[in-house]
Amino acid sequence: MDVSYNQLEGQVRRSLSNCKMLEILLLGNNRFIDIFPSWLGKLQMLRALSLRSNSFHGAIGKPKSNLEFPKLQIIDVSHNKFTGKLPLKYFQIWNFMKVSNFDNLTYMNAFTWARTPDIRGILFLNYSMEMTNKGIKTVYEKIQDFLIVVDLSNNRFEGEISEGIGNLKGLHLLNLSNNILTGRIPSSLGNLSELESLDLSKNQLSGEIPQQLLQLTFLEFFNVSNNNLTGPIPQGQQFSTFENNSYLGNPRLCGSPLTKKCKISETPTQPPLISKQGEDSKFPSKSDWVVIMMGYGSGLIIGFIIGHDLTIRELDQFAKKFGRRRYE
């Protein structure tokens, strides 16, 4: 149901809760004055909810049960007057957003019956909606089946960003900009392996930018401008593509692409790599590497003694395995 860009006003009609099969509800750009319609959580099929650009107000609060919004994957409440803390309890129950690595590129769609002078029969329609993606208001003529979005920007949310948001591992777009958020950027955001756009600008965030964000290899848009951030900007990976605009308004940040250089004491350290190697892995362990490099590099007797437990057969298997991994 798309009734956006009208002049609807007042409160959202509770009769919508009777639309049990409703998947998409777009109420944006109207004149609604209401609190967050938490009763919509009873709609078990609801996948996308847009309340953007209205006068919704008050705290979003907590869900009444863990069964609310079971399939929600897109929520846009930007440009309203919401206050209070970020809805952590909702983050915890938005289970669909915790799933990642969908392979099939399909789109949200519906069948409808049409009867016109030229057409009579069933039409296949793609859903569309307007969202802010990578800092730009964008109309999606098609919505990917597994696009996962949280946009809480341009409200009056306050307090810290919980580490729990890092559990929404399927997120593609996260926009918390233009609020009154304080505290540090949670390092758990580095767990959002599918994230393409992260906007935390125009808040009151402090501390350093977590080095764990280097793990976001799909990140294309990053904006933390106009905060109180300090210390070195992460270097390498996707961060080598972000320009000055991503960091403006943080006079205590240093490092490329800014002209302000970091002091030696501020040099960033890489986050610990997360090993995906199981206990039964046959790939050489760290101690094997040390033994092999000592034997290979020096050729000294001590290297041979330390590495005596590596038989010719094991070295041969390792060489074959390493060679195969290297060129795969």
What is the model's pLDDT at position 101? 59
SS3 225: coil
Q: Which residues, in sequence order, are bridge partners of residue 32?
A: 10
The domain ranges of the chain are 9-266, 286-327
Q: What pLDDT, on the 0 to 100 scale, is given for residue 265?
A: 61
pLDDT value at position 263? 85
Reduce the DSSP state of residue 266 to 3 states and report it. Answer: helix
Report the 10 Å Cβ neighbour count for 62: 14
Q: What is the C-alpha separation between 44 and 118, in angstroms, rounded?
A: 36
Q: Buried b vs exposed e over 48-59: b needs ≥16 C-beta within 10 Å? A: bbbbbbbebeee
9-266 folds as: 3.80.10
Can you give the pLDDT at residue 257? 94
- Please identify every stretch of the chain with a pLDDT value under 50, giving residue numbers as ranges: 105-126, 273-328
Reported as a single tens digit per residue, the pLDDT across 21-61 is: 999 899 999 999 999 999 999 999 999 999 999 999 999 99
What residues are paired with 58 via a beta bridge?
A: 82
pLDDT value of residue 76: 94
- B/e letters for 115-148, b = 16+ CB within 10 Å, e = fewer, are eeeeeeeeeeeebebbbbbebeeeebeebeebbb
pLDDT of residue 49: 93
Q: How much is the pTM?
A: 0.74
